[in-house]
Amino acid sequence: MKMNTTAHYGLIAAGYIAEQADEGWVMASTISKKFDIPLEFLFKILQQMIRTNILLSKKGPRGGYSLARPAKEITLLEIIEAAGGPIATQLELAQMTKKAPFSVKMEKVCERASDKAASILSRAKLSSTGVRYKKHEKRDLLSISIVRGLSAELRLLDETNGLNLLSAWSRTELYR
């Protein structure tokens, strides 16, 4: 599964805003500086998340961004699709190979993998990412590590019993 940089920035911004919920409104410039995200690019991503009812914005000197709904009601799929567009497999291998049997089968496998990833992300809530609601409460149910803009690793754990939903780390390459 390949996620673009926009989707990664959306996840980072939403996670940080959720983590800072007790502190009040979060300024885009704070997110931009803390995570080295170009500010104008971040504004566009945040605007998309406002349009899809993930975030709220408030103008003025004490303004910024906050979650539009509780973190337990926002899925990672919503954030990814709001920021980076729908998760979809558009290989068109069959069309490119004039429906060669191997390409038809490859396309089906890739479509199933994409559907599985979307299913997992649609069940993963922002609240299950280790976001703290109280100072000493933290759960490590989703970890995303971004390695110098080259790749990200995503590991989802079942919220109720800590079972790994993915058999291994799935690597997604970043692209712009």
Count of C-beta atoms within a 10 Å radius of residue 59: 7
Q: From CA 69, how far away is CA 162, in angstroms rounded? A: 25
User: What percent of the chain is modeled with pLDDT above 70?
Assistant: 70
Instruction: Identify the DSSP state of 168.
Output: S
The Cα–Cα gap between 140 and 128 comes to 8
Nearest Cα to 86, choosing from 121, 138, 57, 58?
121
pLDDT value for 85: 83
Read off the pLDDT of residues 105-114 as tens digits, 9 standing for 90 and up. 888 888 888 8
The domains found in the chain, sorted by start residue, are: 5-173 (1.10.10.10)
Which residue, among 23, 28, 4, 171, has the nearest Cα to 80 in the 3D structure? 4
Q: Which of 11-25, 67-81, 135-149 has the lowest mean pLDDT?
A: 135-149
- At residue 131, the pLDDT reads 62
Tokens of 150: 């080259």
Residues whose CB falls within 8 Å of the CB of residue 96, separated by 6 or more in sequence, listed in order: 103
Of 75 and 135, more confident: 75
Whole-model pTM over 0.75? no
Provide the H-helix boundaries in the chain: 5-19, 28-35, 39-51, 76-84, 93-96, 101-123
User: Over 90: is that where the pLDDT of 83 sits?
Assistant: yes
- The pLDDT tens digits of the residues spanning 114-169 come to 888 889 999 999 988 766 543 333 333 333 333 333 333 344 443 333 433 343 33
Integer-rounded Cα Rg, in Å, for the chain is 18
